Structures are given as C-alpha cells and as structure tokens.
Amino acid sequence: MTVPVERETERKLGFDEEALIRRVCEAALEAENCPYEAEVDVLLTDDGSIRVINREERGIDRATDVLSFPACELPAPGDFSRVEEDPMLFHPETGELLLGDMVISLDKVVSQAAEYGHSEERELAFLAAHSMYHLMGYDHEEEEDRLAMEARQEALLQHLGITRD
C-alpha cells in the first residue's frame, strides 16, 4: 500500500503521524477484504486550509476535522468487485487501486483530543479510519448507515489497540 503524506502545516504531534495513518489505512483495507494493493493520498493541514477546501469543495464555510474524496463509486460499501471495469482507477506504474484522498486538520486533532479526553494518537487514528471508510463507500447520512460505519471504525481501532484510554 502506498500512502503519500503531504504537509501544509508546521504543527507536529508527539508521535509519527505518517506511520499511524499508514497503519490505520492498511488495517481498514484488510478489514474490508480489499483484494487490491491501494494508494491513498493524505494531506495534513490546519484549520484555515481545511476551511478553504471545505468551502470550495462542499460549499461549507467552516473548518472541519477530516475531508474524504473517494476516487471511485463502489456499488455498495466495501464492494470492490467492479473496480477492474475502470482501468483509470489503477495507478499506471504500480497497478495500485487509487482509492482517493483524505485531508486532516492537525489543529482539530489537537482540539478534539482535548475535548473528548483521549490522546492525539487516538484522535488522528479515528479520523484516518473515518476517512478510509468513506473512501470505501460508507457514509453516515442515514442512522442505520451511521451505526454500521461507527461500529466498523471502533472495531478497527480496537483491533489496532488504539483505545480511548
């Protein structure tokens, strides 16, 4: 799996953010039985920059914690059965499935970890997991979908040993 991480912020957390994001991305693909090696592009930024992206891409003029931009529309959440029908979804050199992009505000990681009373590592892992499930076709528009997505996220974090403690 390839997870290029770009930084648009000077903020650094007290651990290897990139390694944690890669670990979460790999575990999420494994949990969903994705049959492909994949690429997920990650941008670590601040509240000001994510607000601009949120306004430009979604018409919402406020900072948010994470944005997800799936590269493909799956027939159902976690259903990778038809992606081979579109060769443009695969990197021409590596053959990896281009799953999409995630944007994470490190400012929100810090503030939300404090607000929720858990570590910044837990918050970053949660946001990366949340984004990965969006990239794999999950959403939380309907209550049933929200509960299913939250259960998957929590199971993934528990599996990785990243708890709220």
48 domain residue, yes or no: yes
pLDDT of 117 higher than 90: yes
pLDDT in tens, 62-104: 999 999 999 988 999 999 999 999 989 999 999 999 999 999 9
In a domain, 165, yes or no: no
The CA distance from 41 to 100, in Å, is 6
Q: Residue 118 burial by CB count (10 A; 0-12/13-18/19+): exposed, middle or buried? A: middle
The helices-and-strands tally (H runs, E runs) of the chain is 5, 4
In a domain, 100, yes or no: yes
CB 73 within 8 A of CB 88: no
Kindly give, in sequence order, each residue whose CB lies less than 8 Å from that of residue 97, ignoring residues fewer than 6 positions away.
Answer: 34, 36, 37, 38, 39, 80, 83, 89, 90, 91
Q: Which domain holds residue 34?
A: 5-159
Q: How far apart are CA 50 and CA 142, in angstroms?
A: 25
* 69 within some domain: yes
| Within-domain flag for 33 | yes
164 is a domain residue: no
**30 assigned to some structural domain:** yes
DSSP-H helix ranges across the chain:
17-31, 47-58, 106-116, 120-135, 143-159
pLDDT exceeds 90 at position 149: yes
Judge whether 82 lies within some domain: yes
Domain at 82, CATH number: 3.40.390.30
Total domain count, the chain: 1
